Every structure is written in structure tokens, then in C-alpha cells.
Homo-oligomer: A and B are copies of this chain.
Amino acid sequence: MQKQYTLSRNQKIIFDLIDKSRGPMKAYSILFNVQKKGIKAPLQVYRALDKLVEIGKIHKIESRNAFIACQNSSCQISKATAFSICESCEDVSEISNTKLSKYLSNFADSSGMKYSKYNLEFFGLCKKCKSK
């Protein structure tokens, strides 16, 4: 479960936009979409994005430089994220799989490194694109 947190004005505007969007959104596309609400500069967008990522309301899809609303309240504050990405239509969804997240959260190798966080991105073709 996510800790409750009151979003500020800009954070709310930007979260609502991402949350309503059908796919991941890029920062400058977000900027374009919120200019009518008074958010005029990239930094205003990036600051809100940083905070939203920090509190786990959104995630960054690193391979796409894009942001998506968290679809999975159990991914503890952005510390354990997994996504499936269609390389054809660029559809992205968050994977919610207890076995996978347990496996990765408990993963340890010989390096002696303690992992506190991971991000996994799977690529392939979604059902739709596969059947084309």
C-alpha cells in the first residue's frame, strides 16, 4: 500500500494527465498539454515528475524516457518495477506478478551487493501486433 500524500497543484495537474492517458507520456508532451493550465516551463514538469516518481504514483520507462501511472499499488514506492513493452505499437503495461517480484527482490549474487531496488523491462510483441 502506498502512503498517503497530498499532491500539490502542479503535481495533481500532471498526475491526472498521465493517469488519464492511454500510454506512457513524455515530458515535453506533458508540458504541451498542461500549458493551458499555467505550467509553462520544462522545469515545472520535471519537478512534478520527480516527486511523483519518488512517491510511487508514476514510474519512468527508462528505455523510452516516458512516464506512466502506477497500475499496481503493491510495487513498494517505485522500488520494484516491471513492465512489458510492445516494440511495435509501444504499448506499455506494468507487470504485477508476485512470484516475479519476490524472486527479484530476494535476488542476490556473489558480488556481495545488497539490492534495494530494481527495474525490469520486457520487450516483445503484444497480442494485437503479433496477429497482424
Contacts and interface: CB of A to CB of B under 8 A. Distances in A.
Given A109-B95, A109-B97, A84 B115 contact: yes
Interface string A87-127: 00000010101001001100101011111111111111111
Q: Chain A: interface residue count, which band? A: 20 to 34
Please tell me how many copies of the chain the complex holds: 2
B125 A113 contact: yes
Contact of A84 (B95, B109, B122, B124): B109
Contacts of A121: 62, 118-120
Given A62-B62, A119-B120, A130 B111 contact: no
A35 interface: no
Contact of A119 (B63, B84, B116, B117): B63
